[in-house]
Each structure stands twice: as C-alpha cells, then as structure tokens.
Amino acid sequence: MPKVHVTTTINGEPMEFLCEPYETMLDALRGQLGLTGSKEGCASGDCGACSITVDGRLVCSCLMLAAEAEGHQIGTIEGMAHGEKLHPLQQKFLEHAALQCGICTSGMLVASEALLKKNPDPSEEEVRFWLAGNLCRCTGYDKIVRAVLDAAAEMRETAR
Amino acid sequence: MNVVTNNKWIGQRTIRPDGVDKVTGRATFAADTTMPGMIWGKVLRSPHAHARIKSIDTSKAEKLPGVKAVVTARDIVDFTIEKGAVMLGIQDMRWMCRNVMAREKALFPGHPVAAVAATTEAIAAEACKLIEVDYEVLPFAIEIDDALKPDAPILHEWNKVDGKPSNVAGRLEHKKGDIAEGFGKADIIIERSFATRPVHQGYIEPHACLISVAADGKTTIWSSSQGQFMVRAMTSMLTGIPQSDIRAIPAEIGGGFGGKTIVYLEPVATMLAKKSGRPVKMVMTREDVMRATGPTSGSKSTVKIGVTKDGKIVAAQGTFYLQAGAFPGSPIRGAAGCSFAPYDIPHALSVGYDVCSNRSKVAAYRAPGAPIGAYAVECVMDEVAHALKMDPLEFRLKNAAREGTKAVHGPVFPRMGYVETLNAVKNHPHYSAPLGKSEPGKLRGRGVASGFWFNAGGESSAQVNITEDGNVVVTTGHPDIGGSRAGIANICAELLGIDYKRVSVIIGDTQTVGFSNLTGGSRVLFASSIVATQSTEKVIQTLRERAAKTWGIDPEAVKWENGAAHPVSPNAGQFEPLTLAQIAAKAPEQGGPIGAGVQLNTAGADGGFGTHICDVEVDTDLGIVRVIRYTASQDVGRAIHPGYVEGQLQGGVAQGIGWALNEEYIYNKEGKVDNPGFLDYRMPVCSDLPMLDCALVEVPNPKHPQGVKGVGEVPLVPVMAAVANAVYDALGRRFYSLPMSPPKVSAVLDAPVQRAAE
Amino acid sequence: MTDIRYVAPRTLDEAISAFAAAGSAARILAGGTDLLVQMRSGMVRPGLIVDIKNIAEMTGIEVTADGGFRVGAAVSGMALAEHPRFGKAWPGVLEAVNLIGSKQVQGRASAGGNLCNASPAGDSVPAMIAAGAIITIQGPNGRRELPVEKVPAAPGRTNLTPGEIVISFTLPPRPAGSSDAYLRMIPRTEMDIAVVGLGVSLTLKDGVCTAARVGLGAVAPTVLLVEGAGKALVGSKLDDAALEVAAVACRAACRPIDDKRGTITYRIKTAGVLLKRTALIAAKRAQGK
C-alpha cells in the first residue's frame, strides 16, 4: 500500500513528506509535520478549529487530504507572526481578551486574516458571517468581533 | 480585608500571561503532546442502549499485529455496589468505575466496554472490531417520563423505592414554613410545568490524554481536565496505583464548563500503558464526546407561585425531575436549591428527583441544575408579574432577597448585590430603549430574568517565589479555563507594587504544587487569590526583614511600597529604598531563598446573583427566534480583570441562548444519539448573536482580601427564561419547553390560542 | 482504511479510465467536503480516490458562444464568487453555492460535488434546477448532456452510469429582465443543512413574468422541479394571488419526512413561505436590470 509523496510549501518553507492516501492535511500537520497549532474539534468541517489557507484561500484542513497539498502554498497559524512581531490581529485578540481557553483561537485568527485580506473594511455583520464557520464556546464571540474590527482599523491606518 | 484602592493593576485589562502562546498556536493542549514510543488507545463502545454483558472475548484483538494491550472492566478497580458509597468530592466511585468501563451492564449506546492500545490508530480501531461481546439486549428508557412508568425498564435493580426497583435514585428537599398556609393567603396562584432537553457543555476540545507508566509504576499523565488532583485521585482509585506515584500534569484545556471535572480516558489509558509498557495517547472523537460524555440533564419541572394582590410572594413550590443518565447523580441540588434563592419567600417547598435512564451519565454544566430550575421559576415569575400588571423588575425588587433574608435552601444571606443587579438593569439604557420597528412578518419582544448560584471556596495552594533577578514566579494549583492567571498576576503585581510583566504565573502539577481542588464552582480566582495573597504577604514580610537586616533596624520599622522597602518614617533612619531586585540579589547572604507557600481550605465564598435583559425578533412565518440585544448584570464582588469577568458573562449568555433556541439531544428509535456532531447539535455561531453587553456590579466580598466573588457560573442561570420571556413579549405565547426551535415556535403560532397549561 | 489509492490525473481521459476501471470502489474528489466526512464516519470506504482538480475543463469558468456560462464541476464557491460576471447574471445560483457550509467549506465545495452527493437538501441544486442548468457528463462511452433535475435519483444516488463523471454545468444566456434567487430555511443563521431550500429564476417584461422556474429542495427524496409553481407565476405580476397559487403548488409537491432537522408539517408550510419570499427577491433583482 504505497504512500503518497508530497512536495509543498508551508508558511513559505518548502516541505516534503510521505503520507497515507487517506491521511488528512490536519493529521499530517499535527502528526509528522509537528505543526500542532491547528486543532481538531470535530474532524467534519463544522467547527473551523483546523482552519488553514491553501494558496491564500481559507479551508478546513480536516476536509483536505494531505496528498492534495502537492504543489500548493499552505498557510497555518504558525506562519502568522514574524519572529517576535505579532500580527495586529494576534495583538488585538490579546488586548481585547478575545480568547479564554484558546482552542478556537488558531482557527479564528487564520479565518480573520483571510477575511481582512479579502475585505480590509468589513462591517460587524460581515465579520460575523465570515466567522460563522469558527465555533467558540467560551467567549460568545463579542470580544472576538471587536478585536477583528479593531485590527482592521489599525491595519487600514498603517496601510495609509 | 485589605482592599487596595488606587489600583495600578487590579481592575486593569492586562495581557494574560499565557496569551502569546495561545495566539501563535504554541500553547500545548493534551492532544498536542507526544512522547517517544507512544502508541494509540481506542475504546470499544456498546451499540446498545441497555444490555447485560454476558462475556467479552478479546483474544482475536490481542493477536492482531501491532496490538500491545487490551483492557476491560477486569483491569479497573471495582467499587462494589453493596459496600456503599465511596465519595471523591461529589462523585461516587461506584459509578465512576462503571462509567469509565462497563461492568455488569452496558447502560447507554457509547458506554465503553473494552479498550485497545496499538502502534497506530488504525490498528487499534481494527482491533476493537475483533473484540467479541456477548450482549443480552434489554429494553431501554431514555426520557424521564419513560423511566418513571410503572413498567419501565430498570437500570439498577438494587435501587429500590418503597421496596420496589426504581429508576428514581435520589430525592432532595428544601422546606421553609408551610406552603399550605402560604398558598392559603394568596390572591393569585400560577402553576406551570416545564420540560427541557439534555444539552452538552459543548467544549470545542475533545477529551484527550497521554499517559506513561514506568516499570516501577511511576505514572505521568498529561490530560485535558478541570483538576489535575482529581485526575490523580480518580486514576489512583480506579487503577490501584498510589497517588504518590502519579504525576498528573494539567495541559492547557480547551473548554470544560464542568464537563471535564471527572475522568473518562485516564484510568483506561493508564492500564493500557501499564500493560503495554508504552506511553498511550487517547483522544476522543467529536462523536465519542457527544455519545459518551456527560451532557447535563433533561428535565421536567413544575413550579407554583402564590402572591397577594399587592405583589408579595407568599408561597412557592417547585418539583424538579432531572435526568441522571446511566448512573445516579443529576444536579438536583442546583435545581432545588438555587431556583428560589433570589426571593424572600416565607413558605416554600423545593424538591428534586434524580432519575436514571439509558443515556450517558450527566456531568456538571455551569451552575449544574440551576439554569433548569431558573427557567421554570423565572418564567412563572414573569407570568405572575403580568397577572399583577406589574413591571417584572419591580415585582422582583418588591420580593428581592437582601442581607438577612433566609434563603429557601437554608442560609441567611450576608450583604449581597442582587438588588443592585435589578437596579443596574432597570436603569440601563437597554431597558428603556424602544424595541424598534421590525420588518413586516417579524415581531419584537423584551424579557428579563434573574438567577443565583452557590459558588464555592475549597482547597487551594499557591507558592510565590522571588527569582534571583528580582522577579516573581507564582505557582497555582488550578487549571485556568477563564483567564485566572491574568487575575492572579494583577493581584500579585498590585501587592508587591511592581510592573505586571515581572510576575509569571504558572499552573503546577500534582507533584509541584500543593493540593488544589477542581476548577469549577466559580472558585478558581476566589480561592487561588486568597492563597496567592497570603503567600505574597508572607514574602513581603520576608522582604521587610531583609531590608531591616541591611539597615540594622527593626522589621516593624520597615514598610513595603511601590516595589521597594522604605523606612516607616524618618525616625526609623534615613535610608535609600531597597528594591525587590536589590534585596533578591542579597538573598543568599541574608538567610536564603525568598518565597512562601500557603495551602488552605478557603471559605467565605458568597453566592452570585445576576439579572439579564433580552430582546428578540421572531420571524412569525418561519418561527425563527433571533436574539437582537442582550445585557447581563451580575454582582461580581470585585472585577480583578474586567475583560475576563465580562468574558464569563458573555460565554454563559451564549450557551444559554443555544440552550433556549436550538440545542438538544435527538435520539433515534434504537436509543442512539442522532445528532452527535456540531452539524446537528446546533450551538450558536458568530452570526447568531449580537454584541453581549455587561453591567458589572461590585459589592465587595468582605471575607476576601480583594473582595472577589465567583463569577463563572451565574451567567448561564437566567438566560433561557430571559429569552422565553422575551418571546412571550413578542408573540403573546408562552413556551413551556425548550428548545424554542422553529418547528416548535411555528406549531405554537399556528395552534389556536389555548388556556395555558394548569 | 488500508487499501486506498489516490491519483490526481491531469486529463479527463486519464480520470475516466482510472475511475471506470476501479468500478464501485472509486470516488471522485473535488472539494472533498462531503467525501472526507463520509470517509471519516466510515460511511464510505473508497478503494480509489480520483482527484479531478488538476483537469482544466473541470476547474474553469467560461462564457459560452451564446453568452451563457459553462462552469467546471469542480469550481469552488469562492472561485465562482470571484468571477467578474457570473454573479451578476446568476446571483441566485452564486448565493446558493456559497451557502454550503462555512467560508472554509466554500473555499473547496463545488456545485458538481453538491449535485453528485445527491443529498435531498444540497443547497446548490434547487438554484441550478431553477436556472435550467444542463449538465455535461463524460464516461467510458463518451459525452452526453442531461438537465440538472434528471441527475439525482434517490438520497445518495445519481442517474449517472458507472464510470461517468459530471464535467460542467452550462447555464443559458439571460434575456433582459432576468434574475434568480435562492433562500433556505435553517434554524441558525449559518452552518445548518437546509430544512427547506428553494430557488426561483424568472424573467420580467414590463412587470409581467414571462418565464419562471422553481427548484425545491429538502422536501422529497430528490430536489424537485416544481413545474406548477413556475406556470403559476408566468403571465402574472407576481401579485399575492399568483404567489399563493405558486406556493400551493410547492406545498403540494412536498413529500417530506420528519427528521432531526424538521417536521413534515413545518417543511410543507415553509415551502410555501419561501416560494413567496424567493420569487419577490428574484423579481426585485430582475427589475433592477
């Protein structure tokens, strides 16, 4: 039962690995690739805790085979900060207390970053509907939405 | 109490110490851990809702290449029924040992029957399929009504009521005065019956653990839990390994809400690790979580309230049937004890019944039992207020419990802030804001409700150690599920007068910190800040002594202020202040390490009160209810970190909205959970909710050094009634069962208007 | 889960030979948002997974010679939304495809997968039926076309023959004054499977409806084309009386079940409610053109 050989790029770094045909991208990230920042909450695409980007597009890594990463650019939570410099979203989540247990936080941040790349000036409603695929049970979403809106404002200001 | 005023850190929205790890994906949750040589454990679960286990043959599984160990109930310590209850906290180990691995009977679909550890997850799963279990399938009963029928299938034959086997496993009663006399004085009496469905705590992180047992029995456990000491104790009792040989390390926990105050996997993984000689990792799937871990009870309640025509409550009666699931232990204490607590009622009778049925054993869920009881009581309170033509807040104010009121559940209330929450809501812009105009086909309404939770104190340990470079490490004993590390850091920084960033707060494991009770009961910040404060005060005493030594004066002549030792007055001597760093640098010559630890069974926790306002908008053709505005007021004592206090309110409100509108367990004909996933177990998503406003009331707890009261659980208690009362205001129809899902709302709207159920 | 192979062919012919050769053990992988869930739950154990996302014809969106659109079956909802013109012509189809799951799911899920998964409640199908989409299918015996409403056969089954793959959806050119809309009833605001889903595509000339098609989902074993509802709208000004006749036709077409998502009574009532709302949205959009 041969494994699949995958050549891909993760957070800007070239990576090569072997995987089972049925292995999901989430399994590969959390297992052999040692990138445990993406979390498994449901393994069925209903909670968003496993969110990553593929060529910049937001996806659930539990709904993707690791084999499908071939030739694509994968972005995970681990690639969001640059060394010690946090992304404005990460900083605002901390300032707004937009996390409690933190299990949904990786997925929320990846999803939020994808939103702001597509729409740098979202309304509260647009933020809420974009993040509908990211379940949080601790915060009631209030501070998360505020953090995203605040980060968006700061990023627009910086871009000026 | 030495309440510090002019606070630099207490009350500030500081960045939590564990925050950067959590926003970068570095924080280690239990499923993120690995060890060399690790193998995987999987559980074989009963497909039947009720069955006698006649035999289990694991021989084929044991022979599968890659399988390293197999475990059944034989490997778990038995706590025999006949020997009577063996309590660990509120858990009876007779049920715990059977909950982690079925013994005589499988009592719900998903009940663990055996477990396998193998070199890959796939092999472990394959091996489970090779285990042959001979079941004698029995009839089952899941709903309370079915479990109470005279001919109901009985889960536990030895449990007898009036000499007959019964599914009623417990009864709890609170009595005050004489309700016959009380109701006799009432001008208006309203009695209603309510039903709620089981709902799950809904933590996003499934249960997970990694356990290593060395050849000499020394055991290391990393697990997702609300109490590493509970994990150690339960694992010890269920495996026979002495507690001193078990090191239980609390991983970061991805949500608990009470559901992780017991163990499911740890004793099983420990035995697999012991038998195989390899570290064993076990992670539940979402489906396992929904099928086999405790949700909270479904319920059937009846509440009767009698008032005089000028609005004084003269009598109240509540009967609460809560579904325990497979083993006794539903939270009737919360339902019967909390529901009438906000009110001064001269005559009352509140009774709870614990009913066993063929579903997973319930586990604690945020103020266990209290939301169920409050839903019933607060809805009847609303009906009574309407019957009196009184504003619902005025009605509550007229009957509010105050300092000196004897609660239905026994205690006399000290000074507490319930009335303040009613006034905070009454005076809040939300309460006077117009509901606003809806589009055609939609109706808006507003409702209010109150709630109470006991809160708790309990054992806590802390150590405060000064580093050689003059900074601070605080070790506490409780997993942090809500931001308690930030609160503790605020307090220690405040007491020592140093920058918040110089205080590092970590959570110890069972071998590095003293005994600390569970994270739950709204007690972590309350209890841990008491011991952290006392430890810090001891450290400050040492610092004063060291400075005194340097200056050659009496320690009584030294004060600690703004991070340094100062002479109390010019009379004591003219000395330059000595900073924490300076004193720490001299520690070896002046007597040694500077640090202190305190272990206490903390007391003085006061109950918590909250009052909420909810606005809803209902699409009348489709029966869809949306919450469009929400304000929660709560007496929090003292908000050490307002951001994380608000977070507790907002999180509880969101859970309550889900419970009110869409969350429920759905069963198929075979008694299996039909919606064991987040697709059809419908928790609120981001777009379902509005901003959740908080109005914090601070009536400091005089028995606590900073005035703290527990905050975590009260927020869930009033929510379902607030939503139901808002829906009544919108539609003129009452909902006596939850969830108020669209098909149910639609059916009620389409039915002819009936007299409400008596 | 041990005997699975994964292939990612670059041409349609390769895909079809591999798919046909593996028989019933093979599954097509487009977005994977249904397949991976079914594999994880044990519902499906494919021997061969054929990933068709490297095949140009299945991932492209082109304007056809007569001004219609041909959308590759594996195009994701997000990619469809990024097309500069598709959403202007077919806002209903676009919103239907982009109501499937979450933003993460929409980054992968395709109309082709949604159709071939053959759930009675698939969101894109009522809108595609209302649009009058024609499906191009290729198999070992060559290429053929089918109206989209003829593809679903039963829950989880299509009318495709062994070895056949859905290649693309062709939508007709839009006469002036045309638009479409899709609405579904779900209990939350997102993330639920449709309890009822309804698509309306229509053309208005001087306020009078000259053409209309209605697709209705989650109320029968397959998604339905409700011809009676379309007929009731044609010739009317979408007044209350005409909408009521169309709603009655929708309610009558329902053969729903009671399940964990909705009751029979509720679904039938909702079908009528959604018809009226969806038709009016489509009309408003059509008048805007």
Shortest CB distance from C107 goes to which of A59, A68, A70?
A: A59
Chain A stretch 84-113, residues whose beta carbon is closer than 8 A to a beta carbon of chain C = 111
Q: Give the CA radius of gyration of chain C.
A: 19
Report residues of chain B scoring pLDDT below 70: 1-5, 754-758
Contact at CB, C260 and B622, closer than 8 angstroms? no
Instruction: Kindly state whether A70 is in contact with chain C, defined as any CB-CB distance less than 8 angstroms.
Output: yes
Could you tell me the sign of the dihedral formed by the alpha carbons of C74, C77, C78, C84, in that order?
positive
Question: Half-sphere exposure (CA, 13 Å, Cβ side) for B217?
Answer: 9
- List, as own/partner pairs, every contact residues B391-398 make where C-beta atoms lie below 8 angstroms and the sequence separation is at least 24, other chains included: B392/B447, B392/B448, B392/B725, B393/B422, B393/B425, B393/B426, B393/B431, B393/B448, B393/B611, B394/B311, B395/B311, B396/B342, B396/B343, B396/B422, B396/B448, B396/B450, B396/B611, B397/B422, B397/B423, B397/B426, B398/B311, B398/B312
Considering only CA atoms, which of B157, B165, B155, B158 is closest in space to residue B108?
Answer: B155
Domain ranges of chain A: 4-79, 88-159
Query: Which of B387, B230, B393, B372 shows the shortest CA–CA distance to B307?
Result: B387
Nearest Cα to Cα of residue C71 among C114, C17, C24: C114
Instruction: Encode pLDDT of A66-105 as tens digits.
Output: 999 999 999 999 999 998 999 999 999 999 999 999 999 9
Name residue, tokens 């064991």. B676
Residue ranges of alpha helices (H) inside B562-686 are: 580-585, 587-590, 642-661
Q: In three state form, how does the secondary structure of B534-561 look?
A: HHHHHHHHHHHHHHHHHHCCCHHHEEEE
Q: Min CA distance, A157 vs chain C (Å)? A: 26
Give the pLDDT score at C159.
Answer: 97
Q: What angle do CA B178, B184, B185 make, to 5 degrees?
A: 100
Q: How far is residue B627's CA from residue B685's CA, in Å, rounded to a whole number?
A: 12
Interface size, chain A vs chain B, as Cβ–Cβ contacts under 8 Å: 172
Instruction: Quote the pLDDT of residue C102.
Output: 98
| Rg of chain A taking only CA atoms, in angstroms | 16
Report the run of H or E that residue C252 belongs to, with start and end.
helix C240-253
pLDDT at B758: 39
Low-confidence ranges of chain A (pLDDT < 70): 1
The mean per-residue pLDDT over the stretch C94-107 comes to 97
Chain B residues touching A129 at Cβ < 8 A: 686-687
Out of A46, A63, A129, closest to residue C108 by CB: A63
* Beta strands A4-10; A73-75: pairing state: parallel
- Asked if the Cβ–Cβ distance from C265 to B680 is below 8 Å, we say no
Dihedral sign (CA B409, B412, B414, B418): positive
Question: C189, B687: Cβ pair inside 8 Å?
Answer: yes
Q: Which residues pair with B462 in a beta bridge?
A: B476, B598
- Phi and psi for B379 in degrees, rounded to 5? -70, -40
Which of A35, A50, A101, A136 has the highest number of chain B CBs within 10 A, making it the mutation to test binding with B? A101
Q: How many alpha carbons lie under 13 Å from residue C123 in its C-beta half-sphere?
A: 27
Asked if residues B708 and B637 have their Cβ atoms less than 8 Å apart, the reply is yes
Residue in chain B lying closest to A36 (CA) = B32
| Burial class of residue B115 (count of CB atoms within 10 Å of its CB; 0-12, 13-18, 19+) | buried
Which residues does chain C have within 8 Å of residue B661's beta carbon, measured at their own beta carbons? 187
Yes or no: say if B669 and B569 are a contact pair by the CB < 8 Å rule: no
**Cα angle at B147 between B143 and B149, to 5 degrees?**
120
What confidence score (pLDDT) does residue B3 get?
A: 45
Residues 6+ apart with CB under 8 A from B33: B210, B222, B251, B281
Q: Tell me whether strands B219-223 and B246-250 are parallel, antiparallel or unpaired.
A: parallel
For domain A4-79, the CATH class is alpha beta
Phi, psi of B227 (to 5 degrees): 180, 105
C266-288 pLDDT per residue, tens = 999 999 999 999 999 999 999 98
- At residue A1, the pLDDT reads 64
pLDDT for residue B483: 85
Q: Which residues contact B129 (CB under 8 A, 6 or more apart)?
A: none
**CA–CA distance from B51 to each of B93, B104, B111, B164, B245 (Å)?**
22, 9, 11, 21, 36
Q: What is the pLDDT of residues C217-250, one digit of tens each?
A: 999 999 999 999 999 999 999 999 999 999 999 9
Please name the amino acid found at residue C71.
V
Q: What is the pLDDT of residue C288?
A: 84
Distance separating the N- and C-terminal Cα atoms of chain A: 55
Q: What is the pLDDT of residue B376?
A: 98
For the domain A88-159, what is the CATH code?
A: 1.10.150.120
Q: Which of B375, B259, B361, B366 is nearest to B320 (CA)?
A: B375
- Smallest CA–CA distance, residue C134 to chain B, in Å, is 31
Neighbours of B130 (CB within 10 A): 18
Tokens linked to B527: 């209890």
- B608 touches B711 (CB < 8 A): yes
